[in-house]
Amino acid sequence: MIKPHGSDTLNPLFVEDDAAREALAKEAESLPSIIISSAAAGNAVMLGGGYFNPLTGYMNRADALNVADNMHTASGVFFPTPVLNVVEDPSAIEGAKRIALRDPNVEGHPVLAVMDVEAIEELSDEDMNIITEKVYGTTDMEHPGVAAFMSVGRFAISGPIQVLNYSYFEKDFPDTFRTAVQIRNEIQERGWNKVVAFQTRNPMHLAHEELCHMAMDRLGADGLVIHMLLGKLKPGDIPADVRDAAIRKMVELYFPPNSVIISGYGFDMLYAGPREAVLHAVFRQNMGATHFIVGRDHAGVGDYYGAFDAQEIFDTIPEDALDIEIFRADHTAYSKKLNKVVMMSEAPDHTKDDFVLLSGTKVREMLGKGIAPPKEFSRPEVAKILMDYYQSLNK
C-alpha cells in the first residue's frame, strides 16, 4: 500500500485510547482556553484524522513563511500550505504553556484539542501579504480564501496538539465523514492496490461521473474514493447533505457494486487553486489513494487562476515530494457527434457547438424552476434531488 506523506506509518493526532482521552478532557477543563477560528478548527480535525501527516501541530511564523515561499517547512518537510492557528487576541492564554482549544462551530464551544504552546507570534502586514500572495496568488479581498484568512487575526499560536473529537462532522455526517485512517483501513480490507481519488465540493453531473469512469479504466484501478469536502464553503455552494444525497444516488445507479467508497472530510475550502490542488494530493496520499484526479481550474474560484495552473504546479515540485500520481483531466462534456462524454481536448474535430455546455448559473436557474437539465448534462435521478433543494429555497 502507498506510504503516507513524510513517514512510514500514518500518525494521526486524535487520542484513540478512551481512558487517555477522558483524562485529557478532564485536564482540559482546568487549562487556560481560547475559542479558535473555523479554519484552525478544520486544521485540528485534519491533524486528528491523519490527513496532515507528518505534521504534529500548528506551524510557527518561520514555518508558515517558508511553506508559503517554497512549500517546505524550516526543517525541510514538504507541505504546500501553512497550517496555522491564528487568533485576534491571545490575552486569555498569555504565559500559558498548555492550553485548551475550543470549537467555534459547536454550541457551547467544547474543547476540540489540547495544545502545548511553543510560541505566540504576531504576523506583520508584510507576513500576511506574503502568505496570501504566495498561497492564493493574490491579495484581493474579493477572493473568498484571502478574505477568510485576513479576517481571523494576526497572532499565530504554534505547537503540537492532541485532538479530542472531530467537531460536528461525525455527528452531522455519520455515514460520510471518515478520517484518513478509516479510509486507508477500508482500502486495505477491500484489497484494492490501485486507487483513484476524486475531490468534490459540488454535486457530480454526468461529466464528473464519466471522468471518474475514464480514470478508473485508463489506470486499471481497483476502486474509486469520492472524497467530498464537508466544511464551510462560499455563499451559493450546495450544502454538504444535498451533495451527499446526489452523489450516493449516482453511485448506486451508475457504478458497479463495491467499486466506490463515498466519504468526506472536515475542512473549510481555501479556494487556493494550484496550492490547494497539491494539498488535496497530500490528503489523498495519506488516506491511501495511489492516483488523484486534478481537473480544469481545480479548487479555483472566479478568474484568479489559469485553467491548468493546478496541474502545472505538479511539474514544479520536487520529484520525490509526493508518491501519489496525478491523473490530469481536461474539461469533460457530452459530444453530440459521438453521443458520449469526452475530454474536450481529445475531440479536436469538434467545435463548441458540438458539445452540450451549460454554465453553472444556467443550471441553477433551471433547477430552481423545476426544469431538469438535459440528460446529456445530468442524470435525471441526480437532477431530481437538486431540483427539490433549489425549489425549497424559493418557498
252 and 142 inside one domain: no
Separation between Cα atoms, residue 277 and residue 372, nearest integer Å: 31
Handedness of CA 301, 307, 310, 316 (dihedral sign): negative
Buried b (16+ CB within 10 A) or exposed e, 316-347: eeeeebbebbbbbbbebbbbeeeeebbbbeeb
| 207 found inside a domain | yes
138 and 200 inside one domain: no
Q: If you count them, how many residues does the chain have?
A: 395
CATH number at residue 114: 3.10.400.10
| 1 found inside a domain | no
| 3 found inside a domain | no
201 and 339 inside one domain: yes
Q: Which has the closest alpha carbon to 149: 168, 123, 185?
A: 123
Separation between Cα atoms, residue 52 and residue 381, nearest integer Å: 36
pLDDT tens digit sequence for 3-26: 999 999 999 999 999 999 999 999
User: Is 201 annotated as catalytic?
Assistant: yes
183 and 151 inside one domain: no
232 and 344 inside one domain: yes
381 and 361 inside one domain: yes
Query: What confidence score (pLDDT) does residue 174 get?
Result: 93
Query: What confidence score (pLDDT) does residue 361 get?
Result: 79
Query: What confidence score (pLDDT) does residue 362 get?
Result: 87
Per-residue pLDDT band at 237 (split at 50, 70, 90): confident
Per-residue pLDDT band at 96 (split at 50, 70, 90): very high
Per-residue pLDDT band at 201 (split at 50, 70, 90): confident
Q: Which has the closest alpha carbon to 221: 194, 261, 251, 259?
A: 194
pLDDT tens digit sequence for 153-190: 999 999 999 999 999 999 999 999 999 999 999 999 99
User: Is 202 annotated as catalytic?
Assistant: yes
**Which residues span the domain enclosing 344?**
173-265+271-393
Separation between Cα atoms, residue 349 and residue 342, nearest integer Å: 12
Separation between Cα atoms, residue 55 and residue 62, nearest integer Å: 15
Query: What confidence score (pLDDT) does residue 365 get?
Result: 86
Instruction: Kindly name the residue from 201, 286, 364, 394 that is annotated as catalytic.
Output: 201
Cβ 85 vs Cβ 58: under 8 Å: yes
Number of domains the chain is built from = 2
Interval 45-63 mean pLDDT: 98
Buried b (16+ CB within 10 A) or exposed e, 53-87: bbbebbbbbebbbbbbeebbbeeebbbbbbbbbbb
131 and 236 inside one domain: no
221 and 291 inside one domain: yes
The SS3 call for residue 228 is: strand
pLDDT tens digit sequence for 375-392: 999 999 999 999 999 888
Beta bridge partners of 341: 334
Name the residue with higher pLDDT: 345 or 121.
Answer: 121
| Percent of the chain whose predicted confidence (pLDDT) is above 70 | 100
Beta bridge partners of 326: 292
The SS3 call for residue 335 is: strand
| 8 found inside a domain | no
Joined grid coordinates for residue 373:
437539465
195 and 259 inside one domain: yes
Instruction: Kindly name the residue from 21, 154, 202, 364 that is annotated as catalytic.
Output: 202
206 and 187 inside one domain: yes
Angle between helices 180-190 and 273-286 (to 10 degrees): 50
What is the full DSSP assignment across 155-213?
Answer: EEEEEEEEE---TTHHHH-TTTB--HHHHHHHHHHHT-SSEEEEEESS---HHHHHHHH
| 13 found inside a domain | no
Query: What confidence score (pLDDT) does residue 358 get?
Result: 86
Backbone φ, ψ for residue 310 (5° rounding): -70, -20
Residue 235 has pLDDT above 80, yes or no: no
CATH number at residue 338: 3.40.50.620
| 6 found inside a domain | no
Instruction: Among 142, 167, 192, identify where a domain stops.
Output: 167
- Give the DSSP letter of residue 346: G
pLDDT tens digit sequence for 248-279: 999 999 999 999 999 999 999 899 999 999 99
Q: Which has the closest alpha carbon to 200: 166, 237, 174?
A: 237
Q: Which has the closest alpha carbon to 224: 249, 253, 199?
A: 199
Residue 363 has pLDDT above 90, yes or no: no
191 and 331 inside one domain: yes
Interval 39-43 mean pLDDT: 97
- Give the DSSP letter of residue 81: S
| 5 found inside a domain | no
Instruction: Among 140, 167, 194, identify where a domain stops.
Output: 167
Residue 284 has pLDDT above 80, yes or no: yes
Query: What confidence score (pLDDT) does residue 360 get?
Result: 77
61 and 191 inside one domain: no
Backbone φ, ψ for residue 195 (5° rounding): -130, 125
Instruction: Among 127, 142, 167, identify where a domain stops.
Output: 167
| 361 found inside a domain | yes
Separation between Cα atoms, residue 77 and residue 68, nearest integer Å: 13
